Structure 1
């Protein structure tokens, strides 16, 4: 029943996102033609172009036409690339998954290690240092950090490539890895800062519980207390937070991909928005909303698995 209810709610949310995105895109100033000066110079070509893509019809007719095509699995054709939107997204999705997945794994691993370590050694030099650095990581905008790293490591110290995913004619694993260093570093910094502070506080809260004091009074070693009592109690909120962070991680790649010219979905969204590519933007927004809904459902299911008390 839970899954069925959540699927129904997801359908309603996706419909609402579709309506909102469609209205916002068509009410925003500018037209798709502004990205194509050749078409703007020929009024006849403009009218033919609008008729071909059904952009000369009233807004309700355009919306229901797009909705009917969406129901049939036709996500439309990009107004700029003149190719199916789904095909363009599928081409760019692996690059985004590679970038965001690498940043997520790196940030979560370091946050779990140092968050627990700083909680156990509260007030130590390491704890104070990482608390300060995590606050800086939360405060510094990713685009500004990316520009600083580009200036330092690609201009003054030309150690790393400044843009793209691979060098033309190369494309080896080592070459792709060198291109990934700076964007992964920028993207993982903010993620690490949030997770570090959350894990540190969660471990501190558990360590202050009465049953932890009782275990210490019985003479149990700290390592056993941590793995038997602390870690299971921290795992549930951490898993939930990780599942809900997946959509945020995807949207965070938009800025990073734009700064480093990473050929992923985030950069595609930026250029589509600048060019008023309605089908592309609506499909990506629909995809993002679906990702949020699935992440929320995954978080609920994981909570039920890790904590049977939550079962109805």
Structure 2
């Protein structure tokens, strides 16, 4: 197990290094000039050149990359080219919106996808299972923006229960208002991602129902539902944990879109604004952090899966 964790850690570091290079050099291909943005449209070429020199943009790209990597090793994501503020501090501030949004969306997705997925598997030949299956297929195909607009129409416009946009100025100093502001965006992401997860849960539950130990338990007097819940849910849980690593990426992408739709001051909305402003240092820092979160969660899921599944540990001992 120790060897597996060390191997996974090395792969994580290699993945982060590869992601940093891909992000850094890809951003440099984007059109536009941050020095021109800072100087303004009426600036002379000399003024723009002076700003480029001041920001270090005239250095070779490879040298800029090595300087950035050196800063990352010291825990420094650099400073914004536009405002001069540290990127890490701005990310920490915006994460106070994005992280709770992602957690709430994940909780919502799990809250309905797991029980309904198991129910759809147990009653797959009945009307309940068929309706759940078709509904999940439809929801999984719904664009997150359209789902958000429909939920705004229902809960904000028609019912008036939740705010449609914005985040309280007091932030988490007013927790009730903050939760109400994030509830509708989280519901939007959670419903769409949960529908996808429901399909995986249903598939895993159907596979568990067909296993010998579940059929044996049912033959000893348990109902099919009781046999699945008592003996099949551990295998279903392993499948859910594996898929969650993929779902996290969907949650991050969804949060970028939803923060724009609901005008939330999170990392996603900041990223879109910084791309438009050509603030290269902030964009590369934001993308690297988001990519790092996905890679770290993927590594954690792999380790948890290995710890929870004795068959994988046994296979490792025999190889």
The normalised TM-score by structure 2 is 0.89
Alignment partner, residue 234 of structure 1? 236
1:73 is matched with 75
Separation in 2, partners of 1:42, 1:167: 36
* C-alpha contact (below 8 Å) 1:138/1:193 kept by paired residues: yes
Q: CA deviation at 1:169?
A: 9.7
Q: Which residue of 1 aligns with 2:41?
A: 40
Give the drift of 1:245: 2.6
Structure 1 residues 32 and 148: alpha-carbon distance in aligned structure 2, compared to 1, 3 A threshold: farther
Q: Is the Cα contact below 8 Å between 1:167 and 1:175 reproduced in 2?
A: no
Contact 1:34/1:275 (8 A) holds in 2: no
Verify the 8 A CA contact 1:244 1:295 in the aligned structure 2. no
Give the CA deviation at 1:47: 2.5
Deviation of 1:159 after TM superposition, in Å, equals 4.1
1:59 aligns with: 61
Change (3 A) 1:209 1:69: closer
Deviations 1:79-99 (A, max 9, x none): 233210001000011211111
Give the CA deviation at 1:283: 1.1
Instruction: Map 1:1-312 to 2 at 5 A.
Output: 1-33=3-35, 35-36=37-38, 39-43=40-44, 44-155=46-157, 158-166=160-168, 172-222=174-224, 224-311=226-313, 312=316
1:277 Cα offset (Å): 1.3
Please say if residues 259 and 266 of structure 2, whose CA atoms lie closer than 8 Å, have aligned partners that are also in contact.
yes
For residues 213 and 156 of structure 1, do their structure 2 counterparts lie closer, same or farther at Cα, with a shift above 3 Å needed? Answer: closer
Given that 1:33 and 1:40 are in contact with CA atoms closer than 8 Å, whether structure 2 keeps it comes out as no
CA distance in 2: counterparts of 1:170 and 1:20, whole angstroms: 35
Per-residue CA distance 1:212-259 (angstroms, 9 max, x = gap): 222222213445412331112212111222244323322321001111
TM-score normalised to the size of structure 1? 0.91
Alpha-carbon distance in structure 2 between the residues aligned to 1:148 and 1:223 = 35
CA gap 1:26/1:151 in 2 versus in 1, 3 angstroms: same
1:54-82 alpha-carbon deviations (Å, 9 max, x no partner): 01222222222222222232211112332
Which deviates the most, 240-249 or 192-201? 240-249
Structure 1 gap ranges (5+): none
Moved more, 135-144 or 205-214: 205-214
Q: Which runs of 5+ in 2 are unaligned?
A: none
Distance, in Å, in 2 between the alignment partners of 1:236 and 1:252 is 24
Distance 1:138 1:185 in 2: 14
Change (3 A) 1:34 1:136: farther
Whole-Å Cα distance in 2 between the matches of residues 254 and 170 of structure 1?
Answer: 20
| Contact 1:6–1:297 under 8 Å retained in 2 | yes
Question: Is the CA contact 1:107–1:191 (under 8 Å) kept in the aligned structure 2?
Answer: yes
Aligned alpha-carbon RMSD (Å) = 2.3
Are the equivalent residues in 2 in contact too, given 1:244–1:299 (CA < 8 A)? no
Deviations 1:138-194 (A, max 9, x none): 111111222333345444554432211226799633322322232112111111101
